Amino acid sequence: MKTMFKTTALTAVLALGAGVAAAEIRIGATVSETGGASFLGDPAAKTLRMLVEEINAAGGVLGQPINLILYDDGGDPNRARTFASRLIEDDEVIAVVGGSTTGTSMAIIPVFEEEEIPFISLAGGIEIVRPTKPFAFKTPHTDRMACEKIFADIQARGLRRVGMISGTDGFGASMRAQCLDVVGDYDIEIVADESYGPSDADMTPQLTNIRGTAGLEAVVNPGFGQGPAIVTRNYAQLGIEVPLYQSHGVASDAFIQLAGAENAEGVRLPGTALLIAGILAEDDPQYAVVQAYKTAFEAEFGQPVSTFGGYAHDALRILVDAIERAGSTEGVAIRDAIRATENFAGTTGIVTMGEDDHLGLDLAAFRMLEIRDGGWSQID
Amino acid sequence: MRLSPKLVSLSVLALLALVAPMFFPSGFYYRIGALIFINGLAVTGLVILIGYAGQISLGHAGFAGIGAYACALAPVHLGLPPALAVVLGAALSAGLAWVVGRPILKLQGYYLAVATLGLGILISMVLTNESQWTRGPDGISVPDLGLRGVLADMGWRLTAGQFWYWFSALVLFIGAWLALNLHDSPTGRALRALHGSEVAARTVGVDVARLKLNAFVISAVYASVSGSLLAMMNRFVTPEIAGFMHSVEMVVMAVLGGVGSVLGAIFGAAILTALPQALTMFHEYEKLLLGAVMILVMIFLREGLLPSILRRFRGKEE
């Protein structure tokens, strides 16, 4: 009886000790789960929650479970900024994933720079990582890379004279500027440059102008949301014959449904391996990660994966991998480990970061896709 | 001895600002405090316009946008020190309010609400689309005010959160003091008279159009300065600051707290700034709750939370 009491007491003390030692790894996130950018933030939030559960079930990080603290900033930079302060000062997280839009990401980066906490953004804008900021990383390709991929493909088809129609939202405006900036590197001339507002319901006038441009050989449409789908529909209705290029901003099955498969036929856009998981070669270096993520996500939520959820997947995986390698929860150590990420297979591409490269992707990460019979096929 | 309401309001405000930090569990609460003060400043301006003069504006975020972008652009393009950029923004806002308000405020009724609605949306569109200056919808970074560095050199080291808490508290205190002074001045009395009845005010010799215009211009300056403070605290600004929802938010804060009283309106700003932070656990229901609170206040406490509560309290006393 006495021994049994002793054992019980010992177990209790051990359990108590373990309770103290069993600290948790606090990782923060602020994404746009609601609001205008919810199509970015919603799959990201779902992915983060799912992955954290998965990682904790497999034993956590550094032997400790992850506690994900996720806030919804609704796409408002001022709110995102408040949540960033809250994550660092009140929740005392060791790293943060998030910022669904370039605006929210740029608004919160100064907080992480000041507090020396690593931050991995889920937004496209190139200014997040250029110039390189010591504690800011990102997983999505930049809009500049999308322009380069598109222009390279246009040039390879022997086309020269390109018309542009861009959304005036953050994504469209930024990508338009990057395309105009990078076009000089190619033997391509921009012969038309039209724009439309984020809530416009008809782009026929702009497209008519573009159609009327002499010698037009291709059209590029930087934009995301519903705009590009309307452009694609109007494009087909006007019977414009030259090839249409969309951006990675609409790389999801929802785009084909919205635009209509018959209208989207032949549209090309730069996308990720995730979109073509079904036709990916088994020896592809991204095969395993893409299949695993797609299967898990679709089983859990019963809806198709999107590139944007993939960005969050890569961000959390890179972060967890870095924490494991750093063997520490200290900001600078984790930052250095993220920088040392090498040949990491993500859904977006193969990531190799560096001192001066906080993105770690090259053009090979993009695959030029074409919509055929309502589905995706790879060109190169 | 009976203390004047002005003195009471100012002492309550100062006391709350001084005592609150003793109960802050972490540095994050300084930011919430600063946001409350900055929103409170814009809302104090609306008290002058809505509460004193009885005019409604649905475009005040536009002036906040002007103040904010002045702080982002003037130091870079004109080489102005950030403090002067605040003044420039306020001057631009005042000028614009004067030009827009002058023809409209000669009219009676809701013309100002409609015109300011359009004005706010126009300003927000300009900030979004003129990306060669404003860098477009992704926003632009804002230079540091520099005052924190000066204080640090004087041996007074504050974190960014602490600095903005105390600095915005000071600005709000001054703003509230000016607004309360205005309330008791001849101009304030004339404003409240025209609020009661424009015809009656005119018959006793009040220049109705000029006074309404003054109230509009003053409230635009308040909004502009609050926008400048927000931009400099965040060190980053996007066109969302001038968005329609921000305008509505300001009016809602003022009306919820009590648009006739400076302290009430600041109370409204405090509730609507802090509540979303307290409700992150019930995020899906946040808008529902806020809507319900708003409807209940409008039905049962029509003067706004604070004045109605105070009235009940006093009623029992007597």
Task: Kindly report, residue by residue over A260-296, the tens digit of the pLDDT.
Answer: 999 999 999 998 888 888 788 888 888 889 888 998 9
The answer to whether the Cβ–Cβ distance between A174 and B138 falls below 8 Å is yes
Highest mean pLDDT among A194-198, A250-254, B16-20, B67-71: B67-71
Per-residue pLDDT at A2:
47
Share of chain A above pLDDT 90, in %: 34
Task: Kindly report, residue by residue over B96-142, the tens digit of the pLDDT.
Answer: 999 988 888 877 767 888 888 889 999 988 988 887 788 878 888 88
| A34–chain B nearest CA distance, Å | 9
The answer to whether the Cβ–Cβ distance between A82 and B138 falls below 8 Å is no
Per-residue pLDDT at A9:
47
pLDDT at A350 over 80: yes
B61 and chain A in contact, CB less than 8 A: no
Residue ranges with strand state E in B68-224: 140-141
Structure tokens at B102: 């002058």
The ipTM (two decimal places) reads 0.82
Amino acid identity at A115: E
**Strands A189-196 and A161-167: what pairing?**
parallel
User: How wide is the angle at C-alpha B95 spanned by C-alphas B90 and B97, nearest 5°?
Assistant: 95
A148 and chain B in contact, CB less than 8 A: no
Which chain B residues have a beta carbon less than 8 Å from that of A90? 25-29
Which chain B residues have a beta carbon less than 8 Å from that of A107? 139, 234, 236, 238
In angstroms and rounded to an integer, the radius of gyration of the C-alpha atoms of chain A is: 23
C-alpha dist (Å) from residue A217 to A31, A152, B9: 39, 14, 70
Per-residue pLDDT at A305:
86
* Range of lowest pLDDT (A198-207, A208-217, B65-74, B149-158): B149-158
B241 and chain A in contact, CB less than 8 A: yes
Beta bridge partners of A371: A376
| A156–chain B nearest CA distance, Å | 32
The answer to whether the Cβ–Cβ distance between B160 and A78 falls below 8 Å is no
Query: Distance between CA atoms of A23 and A61, rounded to whole angstroms?
Result: 11
B139 and chain A in contact, CB less than 8 A: yes
Residue matched to tokens 């979303």 = B276
Residue B22: pLDDT band with limits 50, 70, 90: confident
Task: Kindly report, residue by residue over B187-205, the tens digit of the pLDDT.
Answer: 888 888 888 888 888 888 7
Per-residue pLDDT at B26:
81
The answer to whether the Cβ–Cβ distance between A82 and B32 falls below 8 Å is yes
Q: Is B244 exposed, middle or buried (0-12, 13-18, 19+ CB in 10 A)?
A: middle
Which chain A residues have a beta carbon less than 8 Å from that of B240? 76-78, 103
Structure tokens at A230: 């309307």
Per-residue pLDDT at B222:
95
CB atoms closer than 10 angstroms to residue B223: 32
Q: Is the peptide bond before A131 cis (omega within 30 degrees of 0)?
A: yes
Per-residue pLDDT at B175:
93
Structure tokens at A344: 């990491």
Helix or strand run (H / E) with residue B133: helix B131-134
Backbone angles phi, psi at A164, to 5 degrees: -120, 140
Number of H helices, E strands in chain B: 15, 2
The number of CA neighbours under 13 Å toward the Cβ of A296 is 20
Contacts A–B by Cβ distance under 8 A: 76
The answer to whether the Cβ–Cβ distance between B138 and A110 falls below 8 Å is no
In angstroms and rounded to an integer, the radius of gyration of the C-alpha atoms of chain B is: 19
Within 170-189 of A, beta carbons closer than 8 Å to B belong to 170, 173-174, 177
Residue B316: pLDDT band with limits 50, 70, 90: low
What domains are defined for chain A? 20-141+288-365 (3.40.50.2300), 144-277+366-378 (3.40.50.2300)
Contact indicator for A87, A71 with CB cutoff of 8 Å:
yes
**Which one of B28, B121, B140 would you mutate to disrupt binding with A, by most A Cβ within 10 Å of its Cβ?**
B28
Per-residue pLDDT at B11:
85
Mean pLDDT of chain B: 85
Residue A311: pLDDT band with limits 50, 70, 90: very high
pLDDT at B259 over 90: no
The answer to whether the Cβ–Cβ distance between A101 and B138 falls below 8 Å is yes
Out of A85, A169, A174, name the one closest to residue B28 (CB). Answer: A85
Task: Kindly report, residue by residue over B146-173, the tens digit of the pLDDT.
Answer: 787 788 788 777 778 888 999 999 999 9
The three-class DSSP label of residue A61 is strand
Structure tokens at A46: 């779902």
Which chain A residues have a beta carbon less than 8 Å from that of B128? 168
What is the average pLDDT across A15-31?
68
Backbone angles phi, psi at A196, to 5 degrees: -145, 155
Query: Distance between CA atoms of A344 and A145, rounded to whole angstroms?
Result: 19
CB atoms closer than 10 angstroms to residue B305: 18
A125 and chain B in contact, CB less than 8 A: yes
Q: Is B292 exposed, middle or buried (0-12, 13-18, 19+ CB in 10 A)?
A: exposed
